[in-house]
Each structure stands twice: as C-alpha cells, then as structure tokens.
Amino acid sequence: MAGLNSELPPLLVTRGLAFGYDEHGMFRDLDLCLRPGTGLVLCGSNGSGKSTLLRLLAGLLLPDSGSIERAIEHTTGEPVALAWHGHHLGLKTGLSVIENLRWSGGMHERRRRMTPASALETVGLDGFEHVPTRELSAGQRKRVALARLLLSPAPLWLLDEPYANLDPRGAQLVDRLIGHHLRNGGSVVLSVHRPDQAAFEGPRQLLDLDALP
C-alpha cells in the first residue's frame, strides 16, 4: 500500500471498523494500514464522516465494531503516542502563548532539540511568546496549535481540517510541517475538503469517504 516503507511495521491498523450515527451507517468494514512515512488524506463531502473517522482513530469515539491498533513502542511497551489537532484547538485564552505550549507539552512530553521558542519561530510567531492567546487572530491561534504539534514527539499526527482558517502561506506551512514529519518517519492522517488542498511532499494514500460502499 505504501510504496517505499512497506517493509516497516505499520503505525496504525484498523480492522473491520464500523461506525454509524443513529443507525445510518457511515462506514463499515473499514480496513486501514498506515505505515511510517506515509500520509493518509481523508476527503469527502460534509457529513461523510471525515471527522468521525479521525476521532475514532484518536480514541475520542468508540467504534460500533472493529478494532484500531497502534504500533507498540519498544522502549515503553505502550502504544505509540499520537498528536491530535482538532477543530477546537485546545488553547486556553486566559494563558499566554508560551504557557499554552508548556502545559500541553507537559502532558504530551516534548521532542528533544525543540524548544517552544524555536517551534514558534518555525510557525512564524517569534516574539509572540508572552502575548495572551485571547489577543491572537484565528489564524494565529491555528499556528500556535501547529507549534504544539512540532513540539510533540508523537510519530502519529491526526489532523482534522489543518488547512481551515489559514492563508496561502499558512497552508504552505502546514505542507512543510507534514512533509518534514513524513521524512522523519512519522505518519499523518488528515482530513481536507478537496484532495488538491493537501500539497505536501511525500507518499500518500487518498481515502474518499463518499466512494465507500
């Protein structure tokens, strides 16, 4: 399925996944296999279940049936960590930018050789460390959430509509971050409105949720 890295064990596998909102089946018997270094792009019309599938993969929803397995980390024996980026960004407006990065970093561990300051610089928010988050625009907040993603050591990224609310330069930033993450052996599952939105470099699979049986 995944070209180059097909010899590596998959980071994420689903078997026979089924989920329905109040019995109107959204999908069933969904088998996915995500290998390190690949991106899975979910597309489909509104209400086709892109967000639902991402939430299922993140463990934020319980599937009706089927299983979702993440690869096991050798050092800890736990499933590999995942980084979640949803519609609601999980930023506390009462805290400054750096404080927001600190508490989420404290909860999700932090990548070595990456500091909040350098992450903010990468997303183009250098100098904003001590600005209260409530004073940021929607796009800037999105960038803070992207900086949090950069700080996370999780190999698996689950991004719900990462391109929403961003200007073209912001979209390019997302592409750069995803491309970099894939080159480092990480995996990304992301949802988009149109498949051509996701212009990142690297191997990808496309899953059109409208085309499912």
Partner 1 sequence: MMRAFFALLGRDLKLAMRRRFDLLQPLYFALLVCLLTTLAIGPEPALLGRLAAAVTWIAVLLALLLALDGLFRPDAEDGSLELMLTAPAPLPVLVFAKVLAFWLVVMLPLIVCAPLFASMLHLPGTQWLPLLLTLLLATPCLAWLGAICAALTVQARRGGALLALLLLPLTVPVLIAAIGTVDAALQGLPMRSPLLLLGAGAIAACSIGPFACAVALRLGLR
Partner 2 sequence: MKLPLWFHRLGSPPTFYRFAGRLMPWLYVLAAGLTLWGLYGGLVLAPPDYQQSDAFRIIYVHVPAAWMSMAGYGLMAVCAFIALVWRMKLAETMVLTAAPIGAAFTLMTLVTGSIWGRPMWGTWWDWDPRLTSELVLFFLYLGVIALAQAFEDRRAGARAACFLALVGIVNVPIVHFAVKWWNSLHQGSTIRVFSESTIHSSMKWPLLVLAIAAYLYFIASWMARTRVALLEQHAGTDWVQALTQGDRHG
Binding site for partner 1 (CB under 8 A): 55, 58-62, 78, 81-84, 86-95, 99, 102-109, 154, 158
Residue 84 contact among partner 2, partner 1, none, beta carbon within 5 to 8 Å by kind: partner 1
What size, in residues, is the chain?
213
Least distance (Å) from partner 2 to the CB of residue 26? 12
Closer of 82 and 125 to partner 1 (Cβ): 82
| CA-to-CA dists, residue 64 to 57, 58, 211, angstroms | 13, 15, 21
Residue 103 contact among partner 2, partner 1, none, beta carbon within 5 to 8 Å by kind: partner 1
Give all strands of the β-sheet with 39-43 in edge-to-edge order: 82-85, 156-159, 187-191, 39-43, 204-208
* ∠ Cα 96 100 106 (to 5°): 140
Cβ contacts of 122 within 8 Å, gap of 6 or more: 147, 150, 177
Least distance (Å) from partner 1 to the CB of residue 41? 20
Least distance (Å) from partner 2 to the CB of residue 95? 30
Residue 34: exposed, middle, or buried by beta-carbon count in 10 A (0-12, 13-18, 19+)? buried
Please state, as a whole number, how many other Cβ atoms lie within 10 Å of the Cβ of residue 172: 13
Q: Which of the ranges 15-23, 39-47, 121-129, 134-142 carries the binding residues for partner 2, by CB under 8 A?
A: 15-23
Closer of 55 and 148 to partner 2 (Cβ): 55
Residue 22 contact among partner 2, partner 1, none, beta carbon within 5 to 8 Å by kind: partner 2
24 binds partner 2 (CB under 8 A): yes
Number of residues located near partner 2, criterion CB under 8 A: 5
29 binds partner 2 (CB under 8 A): no
| Cα–Cα distance, 101 to 130 (Å, whole number) | 11
Residue 11 contact among partner 2, partner 1, none, beta carbon within 5 to 8 Å by kind: none
The pair of structure tokens assigned to 152 is: 């996370």
78 binds partner 2 (CB under 8 A): no
88 binds partner 2 (CB under 8 A): no
Least distance (Å) from partner 2 to the CB of residue 85? 23
| Cα–Cα distance, 17 to 53 (Å, whole number) | 9
Q: DSSP alpha helices (H): ranges in 159-198?
A: 168-183
Which parts of this chain interact with partner 2 (CB under 8 A)? Answer: 21-24, 62
